[in-house]
Structure 1
Amino acid sequence: MSEPLDHSANPLVPGGALEGLRVIDLTMMLAGPYASMMLADQGADVIKVEPPGGDSTRRIGPFLPGGLTQDQGGYGGYFASINRNKRSVVLDLKSASGLAALKRMVAGADILIDNYRHGVMERLGLNDAALWAANPKLVHVSIRGFGDAVGGASPYADWPAYDPVSQAMGGVMSITGARGGPPTKVGPGVGDIAPAMFAAFGALAATFRAHRTGRGERVDISMVDSVLAMCERIIFQHSATGASPVPEGNGHPLLCPFGLFEASDGFVTIAIPKDDFWARFVSLIGRPELAHDPDFATNAARLKNASRTEALVTEWTRPLTRAEISSVIGGQVPFGPVMTASDIFADPHFQARGMLAEVAMAGADRPLHVANTPVRMAHAAHGVRQPAPLTGEHGAAILAEFGFAAEEIAQICSDPLQKITS
Structure 2
Amino acid sequence: MTGADTPQGPLSGLVVLDLSRMLAGPYLTMVLADLGAEVVKVEPPFGDMIRDQGPYAPEDELKAYGGYFQSINRNKQGIVVDLTKPEGADVIRRLATRADILVENYRPGVMEKAGLSYEQLAKANPRLVYTAVRGFGDPRTGVSPIQDWPSFDIVAQAMGGLLGVTGSKGGEPVKTGPGLGDIIPALFAAIGTLAAVRERELTGRGKFVDVAMYDAVVAACERIVYQHSYTGGVPGPEGNTHPLLCPFGVFPAEDGHIALAAAPADHHWRLLCEAMGRTDLATDERYATNVRRCSRQAEVLGIVGEWTGRHTRAELTAILGGRVPFGPVNTADALFEDEHLRSRSMLQQVEQPGLDRAVTIAAGPIRFADGPAPAVRRAPMLGEHTETVLRGAGFTADEIAALRDTGAVTVAD
Output the TM-score relative to the length of structure 1.
Answer: 0.94
Q: State the alpha-carbon separation in 1 of the partners of residues 314 and 232 from structure 2.
A: 43
Deviation at 1:193, TM superposition (A): 0.3
Would the aligned equivalents of 2:108 and 2:139 in 1 still touch at CA under 8 Å? no
Q: What corresponds to 2:172 in structure 1? A: 182
Does the 8 Å contact 2:31/2:190 carry over to 1?
Answer: yes
Match of 1:11 among 5, 17, 22: 5
How far apart are the structure 2 equivalents of 1:342 and 1:385?
A: 21
How large is the Cα RMSD of the aligned pairs?
1.4
**Equivalent residue number for residue 259 of structure 2:** 269
Distance across 1 between alignment mates of 2:165 and 2:408: 49
Give distance in 2, aligned partners of 1:224 and 1:189: 13
- 1:189 and 1:417 map into 2 onto residues whose CA distance is 33
Is 1:369 aligned with 2:360? yes
The 5 Å alignment of 1:187-202 reads 187-202=177-192
For residue 51 of structure 1, report the CA deviation from its aligned partner: 0.7
Question: Partner of 2:387: helix, strand, or coil?
Answer: helix
* Greater mean alpha carbon deviation, residues 56-65 or residues 42-51: 56-65
Q: Distance in 2 between matches of 1:141 and 1:415?
A: 29
Q: Show the counterpart of 1:211.
A: 201
Q: SS at the partner of 1:312?
A: helix
Cα distance, 1:158 vs structure 2: 0.8
Q: Tell me the amino acid that sits aligned with residue 43 of structure 1.
A: G
Instruction: Kindly report which structure 2 residues correspond to 1:140-151, keeping only aligned pairs within 5 A, or say none.
Output: 140-151=130-141
Matching residue's letter, 2:52: R
Shift of 1:379: 2.9
| One-letter amino acid matched to 1:42 | L
**Is 1:22 aligned to 2:12, yes or no?**
no
Partner residue of 1:100 out of 90, 101, 115: 90
Q: Does 1:238 align with 2:228?
A: yes
2:226 match: secondary structure: helix
Is 1:22–1:44's contact at 8 Å kept on the other side of the alignment?
yes
**1:31-83: CA deviations, max 9, x gaps?**
0000000000000000001111221211011112443555xxx3111100000
Q: Which stretch shifts more, 112-121 or 405-414?
A: 405-414
1:408 equivalent in alignment to 2:408: no
Task: Assess, with a 3 A threshold, how the Cα gap between structure 1 residues 416 and 207 changes in structure 2: closer, same or farther.
Answer: farther
Is it true that 1:307 corresponds to 2:298 in the alignment? Answer: yes
Select 2:29's aligned residue among 31, 36, 58. 36
- 1:416 deviation in Å? 3.0
Q: What is the identity percentage for the equivalent residue pairs of Structure 1 and Structure 2?
A: 49
Cross-structure match for 1:290: 281
Change in 2 beyond 3 A, CA 1:134/1:60: same
- Residues 210-265 of structure 1, C-alpha deviation per residue, up to 9 Å, x if partnerless? 12101120001100111111111111111111111111111001000000001111
Name the CA distance, whole Å, in 1 between partners of 2:119 and 2:131: 14
Give 1:153's aligned residue. Answer: 143
Distance (whole Å) between structure 2 residues aligned to residue 190 and residue 238 of structure 1: 23
Distance in 2 of aligned mates of 1:355 and 1:218: 33
- Unaligned 5+ segments in structure 1 are none
- Contact persistence 1:262–1:268 (CA under 8 A): yes
In structure 1, distance between residues paired with 2:269 and 2:408? 68
Distance in 2 between residues matched to 1:298 and 1:209, nearest whole Å? 46
What amino acid maps onto 1:408 in structure 2? E
Q: Are residue 165 (structure 1) and residue 155 (structure 2) matched?
A: yes
Displacement of 1:19 in angstroms is 0.2
Q: Which stretch of the first structure deviates more once superposed, 223-232 or 117-126?
A: 117-126
Give, in whole Å, the separation in 2 of the partners of 1:307 and 1:18: 50
| 1:49 corresponds to which of 33, 42, 46 | 42
In the comparison of the two structures, how many residue pairs are matched? 408
Does 2:382 match 1:388? no
Residue 382 of structure 1: CA displacement? 6.2
Letter in 2 for 1:30: L
